Amino acid sequence: MSDLDDPRCEVLVLGIGNLLWADEGFGVRCVERLAAEWRVPEGVTVMDGGTQGLYLLPYVQGAQRLIVFDAIDYGLPPGTMKRVEGDAVPRFMGAKKMSLHQTGFQEVIAAADLTGQLPNELLLIGVQPEELEDYGGSLRDVVKARLDDAVEMAVAQLRDWGFAVEARESKVGAGETADSGDALAMTSYEAGRPSAEAASRIGDDRFMAA
């Protein structure tokens, strides 16, 4: 990821979401993939925004352009990817909230707008989740399969804006994320957790009333 000491940048590429709630982690996995596979030039900041909410405000205010990756409930089939641009982004992110992080980021957008420091150009790259209620679960296959598409969409937008984005020599395979040894990196995370059946992350019908 990029150096975050200075919130000012020409473009902020931001992934938001919660890795611990299955498809909620889509946005974070996207910026992981982007950072692992592509070199971005000076002026472009790639940031894991997680669930930081209003703590992200100075970074959004400091950017001239903003690309956001997130899991969004479009009411479409799981895995459907959608591109939302410009003035539609704040309205769309506030239309149907799936989690507290979306509430927080809607407030970030509203506060940046109120202070006259909303980025000039906005792009939301979202995917329809399949499962959100699996605590400790990872991306479902239909959502994981869209990581490359989402990252390539962002790369194409950066190039359209005139930024020289270059592919790294070694790239991870489809559906995987480069593993730096971090326990939350996708490979380590998926290898180290018990199965859904063993952990009863969603609940066991034998003990929970229908």
Is 158 contained in some domain?
A: yes
Is 87 contained in some domain?
A: yes
Is 205 contained in some domain?
A: no
Q: How many domains does the chain have?
A: 1
Is 208 contained in some domain?
A: no
Q: Which whole number is the average pLDDT over 180-204? A: 64
- CA dihedral over 62, 65, 68, 74, signed as positive or negative: positive
Is 15 contained in some domain?
A: yes
pLDDT digit string, tens, across residues 133-167? 888 888 999 999 999 999 999 999 999 999 999 99
Q: Which of 42, 67, 54, 75 is nearest to 166 (CA)?
A: 42
For position 61, which CATH number holds? 3.40.50.1450
pLDDT digit string, tens, across residues 65-96? 999 999 988 889 999 999 999 988 876 665 45
pLDDT bucket at 175, cuts 50 / 70 / 90: very low
Is 160 contained in some domain?
A: yes
Contact 57, 108 (CB under 8 A): yes
pLDDT digit string, tens, across residues 102-141? 557 888 998 999 999 999 999 999 999 999 888 888 899 9
Which residues span the domain enclosing 72?
9-199
Is 122 contained in some domain?
A: yes
Is 148 contained in some domain?
A: yes
